[in-house]
Structure formats: C-alpha cells, structure tokens
A and B are shown apart, each in its own frame.
Chain A
Amino acid sequence: QLQLQESGPGLVKPSETLSLTCSVSGDSISRSGYYWVWIRQPPGKGLEWIGSIYSSGNPYYNPSLKSQVTISVDTSKNQFSLKLSSVTAADTALYSCGGGFSVMGDSWGQGILVTVSS
C-alpha cells in the first residue's frame, strides 16, 4: 500500500517560490503506470487539482496555474516535488500529495498547511 508524506516550509513570503516534497513508501516511484499528484485545499474551501506527473515523466498541470507550477520526480530518493512560483495570499492552502494508477490520485498523504504571508 502506498504511503505518502509531504514536507517543506509552512510559511512562504509573497512573490517567493513555494517548494514541497512528497516522500513515497510502499512502492517504487518509477513503477510503470503510476501517476503522482498534487492537490490543495484553501481554508474552508474545496479541493483544487494542481497537477499530475506520469511515471514516464510527462506532467499535466491545472491550466489556471500552469505558468507557476513545476512538478518533478527524483527516482534516486523515491520522491516527487512541487514548485509554485510568485505566490500570493491566495495560494495559502493545505497541500496534499497523492499517487496511484489514476491521474486524479488514489492514495493521499495527510497534507501540509502552507501560509503565504510576510
């Protein structure tokens, strides 16, 4: 069973880059057919898909965030990461990583709250 754990700073300044890492256990991040996914949930609001990356390395991004987002995989560490540039207060949210055979995510980490504030 996949287990995922998010890590990174809980506070980011406006205009800076938010960087998070998701550590994967229970299977290889290189396993064929897997997608690795990031979603977020602003306080009191619904779920928003940020992007997914396929095991072959092809990323798919939310069109509304595409200019800010980079998702990449580090096979040597069995991790994948999220970078979101030029953040504003609107990017304050609980960020969760997920994975599985669905591009929408099957298993999820507990999430990490990231606040954008000076």
Chain B
Amino acid sequence: QSVLTQPPSASGTPGQRVTISCSGSRSNIGSNTVNWYQQLPGTAPKVLIYSNNQRPSGVPDRFSGSKSGTSASLAISGLQSEDEADYYCAAWDDSLNGHVIFGGGTKLTVL
C-alpha cells in the first residue's frame, strides 16, 4: 500500500513561519488533490486545507497549502501556541482500484 511521507516532528517559536512537507508518488499526489488535517490533542481531525490550497471558512489565512509534482506542503505563518497539534496530509491513490492514504503525521511543537 502506498504511503505519504511526512517529517515526524517540526517546531518553531511564536510568530515564525513553519513548513510541513508531504511526499508521495505519481499515483497519489502526482495525480490527485491533497487535503491537510489538524488534530489537536484529544480531538477529532479538522480540515485545514482541501484541494491542495483551499481553506474552509473559518480557517485563518495563516494556513496555506501548495503542491508541486509529487509533493505537497503546508505552511503556517505567524505561529501561535494554539497551533501546537498533529498535522496529517491525505490524498486519493489510483492504485489497487483506488483508495485514500494518509501521511504518518507531523507533531508541531511551539517553543
């Protein structure tokens, strides 16, 4: 089964800009859109970014997404303490009759 690769951890200080990467392949990120999810401790995941770079209403514009080739990135600018959470990327994969794959998750620490 295909896998999306994320760094296990990232960190930054308040006000900084942090980027989280998500690396895939032609059958997933290379062919389909990417969603990003934020999971605060003890809560359900929340969509931060859909269709590579679209923000649902209510998500601050400090969060942005991009995609290039078989990789995607989530950028958080003006880092705040409440951004400390786990972040996951996800994409549809065309192999094996099609399925959704998640990245392994990145734990963001605000120092």
Contacts and interface: CB of A to CB of B under 8 A. Distances in A.
Q: Are A and B a genuine interacting pair, yes or no?
A: yes
Interface of A: 37, 39, 46-49, 52, 60-64, 96, 102-111
Contact of B100 (A104, A107, A111): A104
B1 interface: yes
Interface of B: 1, 35, 37, 39, 43-47, 50, 56, 86, 88, 90-92, 96-105
A64 B1 contact: yes
Contacts of A104: 35, 90-92, 100
Contacts, number: 60
Contact of B56 (A46, A49, A62, A106): A106
Contact of A47 (B50, B96, B105): B105
Nearest to B45: A108
Contacts of A47: 37, 39, 45, 88, 90, 102, 105
Chain A CB within 10 Å, residue with most, of B91, B101, B102: B102
A96 B44 contact: yes
Contacts of B91: 104
